[in-house]
Amino acid sequence: MNKQLRSFVFSTDHLPKTIRFNVPPSKSISNRMLLIRHLLRARGIRICLKNVSNCEDTGIIRSGIQAIESNTPTTVDCKNSATAYRFLNALNNSGKGHLTLVMSQRLKERLGNNKMTSQNISAKLLVNMFNDYNKVTVLPTKVSKPYINMTQSLIKWAKEAKNGEEYRIERCWSSAAFAYCLMAVRKCGSVIIPQLKPSLLQGDSIAESLFRNFGVRTEFINRAAVLTFDPSLCVKGDIEIDLASYPDLYLPLAVAASQFRFTTRFINTQAQSYKECDRMIAAEQLKRKPTDSLQIQTFGDHRVAMSFAMLAFRYGNVILDNKNCVRKSFPNFWRNFR
């Protein structure tokens, strides 16, 4: 019998004008670098990874690789992590792994309906990084190309890596998007994101530009990103945002857009139906306009929980049916609001 999840009331009344918002290391870079470290180790090259994400997805990949390196046949529960399954399955298929992979029903549905993704391509690039497969020139139009570019950049670094070399993983822009959402909803005060800097690797760093449409100004000061609200930055008319390359930004952008009178039209949203939940359905909850609190069904989706929680800065509090799902990508998310 499944344990009944307790509702969680997220309130913001006690929070100061300036919020220090610590984001984790990039999950996407961490996942790729764990595979790279493993593949380099098999060639006698040992690298040192610094600042690896401690999120659930990365932990699944780490445990799978540890089982492979110890030559222990192991069953790994990928839960609802498409990246973990695709990366570990690529190791299996290449003969470099001997894992039994199990998963949630939702992940089975996602894998069946969405077979050509940046994760699949990245997985093949990684396990074949020392042959010519990494020369991908033609990509499906609906694939998130920045993630493939990230993979190829990391492979380039790996091919030049020396024994004992260190790689430090940068802070996560996908997670920083929730701080941008916060500022667009709150419209006052400031948010400080320590150690976040402009990124050439992470496509989601475009959040800095996209959230400018909603009045969020970014300054990089003293090794931190400082966010403030400037109404003069807000667009004067309706806008269109193409999500083809930045699918993980949809929910924080949609929540921000709900707080403005101009219309924001999102295009290339097909991938949203194949995420941890159908995020297009989850976003329908934005049509509710409560006077005080807002009750949200997260569908067990980390990005639903974190995006909709930001509406507490408008309505006083938000009631979520599941706060623990944030462990998938951002385990310390709630600590930013103590």
pLDDT in tens, 176-218: 999 999 999 999 999 999 999 999 999 999 999 999 999 999 9
- Amino acid, res. 323: K
pLDDT of residue 95: 84
Task: Give the Cα separation of 104 and 28 in Å (integer).
Answer: 21
Asked whether residue 5 carries a pLDDT value surpassing 70, the answer given is: no
What domains sit in the chain, N to C, each tagged with a CATH number? 8-24+171-337 (3.65.10.10), 27-168 (no CATH)
Say what the pLDDT of residue 28 is: 98
pLDDT at 134: 53
Alpha-carbon distance of 172 to 8, in angstroms, equals: 25
Residue 80 and residue 28 in contact, taking contact as beta carbons nearer than 8 Å? no
Give the pLDDT confidence of 63-75 residue by residue, as tens digits: 999 999 999 889 9
Q: What is the pLDDT of residue 177?
A: 98
Query: How far are the Cα atoms of 41, 54, 102, 159, 217 from residue 46, in angstroms, in the given order?
Result: 5, 21, 30, 12, 41
Residues 6+ apart with CB under 8 A from 101: 75, 76, 78, 85, 88, 89, 92
Which residues, 6 or more positions from 81, have their beta carbon under 8 angstroms from its beta carbon?
56, 57, 60, 107, 328
- Closest by CA to 49, choosing from 32, 64, 66, is 32
Q: With cut-offs at 50, 70 and 90, classify the pLDDT of residue 142.
A: low
Q: Tell me which of 92-106, 225-239, 259-273, 306-320 is least confident.
A: 92-106
- Provide the β-strand partners of residue 8: 320
pLDDT tens track for 14-52: 999 999 999 999 999 999 999 999 999 999 999 999 999
CA 15 centroid distance within chain: 25
pLDDT at 238 over 90: yes
**Per-residue model confidence (pLDDT) at position 1:** 31
β-bridge pairing 74-77 and 166-168: unpaired
The predicted structure's pLDDT at residue 101: 97
* Planar angle of CA 322, 311, 300, nearest 5 degrees: 20
Predicted pLDDT at 144: 84
- Quickly state the pLDDT bin for 129 (edges 50, 70, 90): very high
Q: What is the mean pLDDT of the chain?
A: 93
DSSP alpha helix (H) spans, 70-143: 82-93, 105-113, 118-127
* Whether the model pTM is above 0.85: yes
DSSP string covering 55-81: SHHHHHHHHHHHHHHTT--EEEE-TT-
The predicted pLDDT at position 292 comes to 66
SS3 of 237-273: CCEEEECCCCHHHHHHHHHHHCCCCCCEEEECCHHHH
Measured over all CA atoms, what is the biggest interatomic distance in the chain, rounded to whole angstroms?
62
Q: What pLDDT band is residue 2 in, cutting at 50, 70 and 90?
A: very low
In DSSP terms, which residues pair with 317 in a beta bridge?
11, 293
Q: What is the pLDDT of residue 290?
A: 74
- pLDDT tens, residue by residue, 286-332: 998 776 678 999 999 999 999 999 999 999 899 999 999 999 999 99
Sequence-distant (≥ 6) Cβ neighbours of residue 2 within 8 angstroms: none
One-letter amino acid at 112 equals G
Looking at residue 313, its pLDDT comes to 96
Element (H, E) at 284: none
Q: Is the pLDDT of residue 137 over 90?
A: no
Confirm if 184 and 258 have CB atoms less than 8 A apart: no
Helices 250-257 & 302-309 angle (0-180, nearest 10): 30
